[in-house]
Structure 1
Amino acid sequence: MRILLVGAGGVGDAIAKIAARRQFFEHMVVCDYDPARAERTVAAIVDALGADAGARFSAAAIDAGDADAVAQAVRDHAATHVMNAVEPRFVPTVFAGAFAGGADYLDMAMSLSQRHPSNPYTETGIKLGDEQFAASARWEDAGRLALVGMGVEPGLSDVFARYACDNLFDDVDELGTRDGANLVVRNENGEEIFAPSFSIWTTIEECLNPPVIWERDRGFFTTPPFSEPEVFEFPEGIGPVECVNVEHEEVLLMPRWCRARRVTFKYGLGEEFIGVLRTLNTLGLDSTEPLTVRSADGPVRVAPRDVIAAALPDPATIGPIMTGKTCAGLAVTGTKDGRPRRVYLYHVSDNEWTMRNYGTQCVVWQTALGPVIALELLATGVWSGTGVLGPEAFTSEPFLELMAADEADGGYGQPWGLREDEPN
């Protein structure tokens, strides 16, 4: 397996650092629009693990917005797999470039949605991933695989869904992804500051778009942003966090392969974060449409959302000033052996641990773990398939076993939890 990793931001950097400790691939080319970022990732691997580990990595420049450039990079580096680690607005070009170049493809976020033109808060328009699934037959005819939504959420949450449906329930009422954290970022004076732990560009996109819900009797429908608030109790000391509906890929993926009556995604954003997002929306600063801005050097065209992203700290750099844990998981309700059952399957990532062991903050590290495990399962032939598939299309047990096994036994040393809750 030869991997073209497109993107050396926070998640791409973490993917390379996790993969560097594994032996399932021959070579990984770390690519970025800014080649210095890719070079820093490779240098960090050499510093941490030595020249022998670094010899399996190289750095290169790439324009993720140019499908032809991606295809050429696949050919130039004889890549068998393209790992897309850039923002979802680049999914169409990286996806197309991987196909044109002759490689299989993985991503962690799917092609973007477009609102229903007249009823955005009740009906779906173009849904997340629709453009990719429309190309599934072409990938299948070519005998190639595009594994989409293979991060942590989506990704691990979808693996949990397949595991729950196969092993824990006879009948599932709801598959409900629930994400929460107790992360705090402080400046040099010890004062708490607003610094999102993930790409603000992506966060704005998913949080201000109409959330999608799926129900067996109704199909896909939407609600206003931040709808249906609920307080969810997260494990390992995180505690209660208010979660709200957010647009996310799980709702578009799980119904394709898992039988349930309802599928939802709720994110623990917090009152301050929701307030910031509402303000950005009110002022039009969430827009991706460029505006003309007058400057000393003359008028320039710039998208307001790009300005917001540039003004905030890079999520890849906030690890040293961040404390706390983040939890990704799936709450499942239904019946087993005729009795009501409610469980929460989850994985917790601690920022102190990820910084100490990988020099990477916990949110991006947790997001990067799933794709590396998936790549290893594909490299070893444990997982295989053709067409455009989500994580639920594959058996879950090998993924969860490899994830949880001790590193000394060939695993990743990341146990996951299963909490039995009282049925409602």
Structure 2
Amino acid sequence: MRILLVGAGGVGGAFTAIAARRDFFETIVVADYDLARAERGAAADPRYVAAQVDASDSASVTALCQEHGITHVMNAVDPVFNMPIFEGALAAGADYLDMAMSLSKPHPEAPYSQTGIKLGDEQFAAASQWEDAGRLALVGIGVEPGLSDVFARYASDHLFSEIDELGTRDGANLVVTDDDGNEVFAPSFSMWTTIEECLNPPVVWQDGGWFTTAPFSEPEVFDFPEGIGPVECVNVEHEEVLLMPRWIDCKRATFKYGLGDEFITILKVLHTLGLDRTEKVRVKGVEVSPRDVVAAVLPDPATVGPRMTGKTCAGLWVTGTGKDGEPRSTYLYHVVDNEWTMQEYGHQCVVWQTAINPVVALELLATGVWTGAGVLGPEAFDAVPFLDLLTAYGSPWGLMEVAPAAG
């Protein structure tokens, strides 16, 4: 297996650190628009090679694949670049993986009730091309989406005979401080992507179809495990809701994120001021995207690890009927402590938790445990080998029975 890693930022850097401990691949070409950043990522292992790439140009991706005999393209950049990388991989005859699907566009007349172009629609529209080529595009294989989707498959196969709701729930008790120990606002993941998913109309699957709601709707308090505790979670647009019902029979699918009042207020202010916009505006003779400016002035998520404490939890709350015919309410989860990831890998916990899942998936593909062609989500594959290998990597998952959350 010869892997092209597109993007050497926070998640890409964690990917190289995790993969360096495994032996299932021959080489990884660490590519970034910033060659110096790619070179820093490639320094993690003698099997790595640095390269420059323009992720917005499919021909650049194809050429790099052909130059290095790439078999698998790993997309680790913001999803605005998904389609050029996706198309460049197919043109090169390589398989493809990403951690977030192609972007959505809200319904032009009824954005908070009807879907427009949904997450992943552009990629699923090309499924027949990938099938005809005998190539695999494994989409949404980060942590959320990704591990949460693996949990859905596991719950369907092993825990439930009938599923009422697949409810992805994400929460944390992470705190970032400045040099004086004061708590500061510093997102632990890409601010560009966070703005995109939090301010777009959230999608819900119910009774055989998708619909949308207003941002931050349907708040509920979920009690997260391993000391994180109760966190208020709200509806957010996310890929799981678009992926899970394609392979898993369920009456409802939701995604709720524990953002907190401060973060929600900041996002609302950005939207009110138009600073969430991606269209460029002219400022003193220079054209800039307001959202790019917001992302640029905030701390790089890859750098906040040394000043961050706490844990992050990604998981799936499943309700329905168990295999024994009795009502069941179960949370399958993965908790990561920032102190551990910083000490063990030198990367903060949120990007590390995202990056470990595509490494596990690539190992399963390299060994032939997972196989397929077309555009497929994690739900299309057997969950047990993935969860076993995740545990073997030293990061076990958990399961707990839960009572209904308070509204």
TM-score if structure 1 supplies the norm length? 0.95
1:422 is aligned to 2:391: no
User: Which of 311, 328, 347 is the matching residue for 1:325?
Assistant: 311
Residue by residue over 1:237-274, the C-alpha shift from the partner in whole angstroms, topping out at 9 and shown as x without a partner, is 00000000000000000000001100000000000000
Task: Tell me the equivalent position of 2:263.
Answer: 273
Shift of 1:423: 5.8
**Within 2, Cα distance between the matches of 1:355 and 1:35?**
25
Task: Name structure 1 gaps, 5 residues minimum.
Answer: 46-53, 405-410
1:222 is aligned to 2:208: no
Task: Tell me the equivalent position of 1:357.
Answer: 344
Aligned partners of 1:340 and 1:423 also within 8 Å: no
Aligned pairs for 1:55-134 (under 5 A) are 55-134=46-125
Aligned partners of 1:212 and 1:248 also within 8 Å: yes
**Which is worse superposed, 28-37 or 336-345?**
336-345
1:184 is aligned to 2:170: no
Q: Which amino acid is the alignment partner of residue 373 of structure 1?
A: V
What's the % identity of the aligned pairs? 71
1:34 is aligned to 2:34: yes
User: Which of 279, 295, 301 is the matching residue for 1:309?
Assistant: 295
| RMSD of aligned residue pairs (Cα, Å) | 0.8
Task: Tell me the equivalent position of 2:390.
Answer: 403
**Within 1, Cα distance between the matches of 2:300 and 2:403?**
40
Shift of 1:103: 0.5
TM-score if structure 2 supplies the norm length? 0.98
User: Which of 401, 412, 424 is the matching residue for 2:393?
Assistant: 412
Q: Which amino acid is the alignment partner of residue 280 of structure 1?
A: L
User: Which of 188, 197, 205 is the matching residue for 1:206?
Assistant: 197
**Within 2, Cα distance between the matches of 1:423 and 1:270?**
20
Q: Which amino acid is the alignment partner of residue 421 of structure 1?
A: V
Q: Work out the number of aligned pairs and report it.
A: 404
Task: Tell me the equivalent position of 2:234.
Answer: 244
Look up the SS of the partner of 2:122 in the other structure. helix
Q: Which amino acid is the alignment partner of residue 323 of structure 1?
A: T
Q: Which amino acid is the alignment partner of residue 394 of structure 1?
A: F
Aligned partners of 1:159 and 1:392 also within 8 Å: yes
Task: Name structure 2 gaps, 5 residues minimum.
Answer: none
1:347 is aligned to 2:327: no
Aligned partners of 1:341 and 1:423 also within 8 Å: no
**Within 2, Cα distance between the matches of 1:36 and 1:353?**
27
Q: Which amino acid is the alignment partner of residue 11 of structure 1?
A: V
**Aligned pair in 2 of structure 1 residues 197, 423: CA closer, same or farther (>3 Å)?**
closer
